[in-house]
Amino acid sequence: MEDEVTEQIMYVLNQLVLWVAAGAMVFGGVVPYIPQYRDIRRTQNAEGFSTYVCLVLLVANILRILFRFGRYFEAPLLWQSIIMIATMLIMLNLCTNVRMATELNTKRRSFTDFDWSHFWSWSRFVDYLQCVLAFTLLAAYVTYLLLDSSVFVETLGFLAVFTEAMLGTPQLYCNYQNKSTQGMSIKMVLMWTSGDTFKTVYFLLTQAPVQFWTCGLLQVAVDVAILFQVYYYSRYPQKPASHAVSHTTSAKAL
């Protein structure tokens, strides 16, 4: 009798841990962007945040959703992708509104101009939606045609997680270009690091496809590099802390 009770308790605890871990996987990825979102709204300045971070995550999560049609993975990872796409669109909307409210250049840039020099630096949020929709339709069509190819499916999965692993590189480059981490939320990067570490361990424990945990390790390494930039630029400032980033630099970083 006691053994049965113990087994039931252990089963309930195990299920509880699995539910908590699944919830952390689904919602934990968006938490780091809350302090960054609040900082941008408070300061009305988005220059310290690279919107290429949003591009990387949008591409990665769209590809991950398509990958699931060829190779099954757990539902929490699917919901994580859906919620992350929505979060990145919200971040893009905020950054676009803030940038256009402070930008001196009155010329409007749009996705349908097909001007590569202004890619991902458009004037309206709807242009970003058009780009995301066009990419999604194209990627879905190619996936539909090649879904029977195991090589394509595995390559798609690798591209999804490798693109996500490159999440921090736009911010890494933006910090290097500005020679400062001013305007970037350190809380966001700390949450990146803790979240990516948790996610990589989760992948290993749930025996996720090898692409997931190998690229998770790479993502943690990039997070650590950004934290090193925070230390280095605060210890050895390259320019006055109050110096504003020029609009030219901002256009390249966004």
Which pLDDT score, from 0 to 100, does residue 106 have? Answer: 57
Six token digits for residue 246:
């020029």
Predicted confidence (pLDDT) per residue in 126-158, tens digit: 999 999 999 999 999 999 999 999 999 989 988
Helix (H) or strand (E) holding 175: helix 169-178
Contact 58, 182 (CB under 8 A): no
Give the integer Cα–Cα distance in Å for 122 and 119. 7
Give the integer Cα–Cα distance in Å for 110 and 105. 14
Count the Cβ atoms, other than its own, within 10 Å of residue 126.
13
Contact 170, 50 (CB under 8 A): yes
Give the integer Cα–Cα distance in Å for 55 and 253. 12
Give which of 121, 137, 112, 110 is closest to 52, Cα–Cα: 121
Instruction: Report the sign of the C-alpha dihedral through residues 135, 141, 144, 147, in that order.
Output: negative
In order along its 254 residues, the chain shows pLDDT tens digits of 667 777 778 777 877 877 777 777 778 778 888 888 998 999 888 887 889 989 999 999 999 999 989 887 778 888 889 999 999 999 999 999 998 887 766 578 888 888 888 899 898 999 999 999 999 999 999 999 999 999 999 899 888 888 888 878 888 888 888 888 888 888 888 888 888 888 788 778 777 777 778 888 888 889 999 999 998 988 888 764 444 444 333 333 33
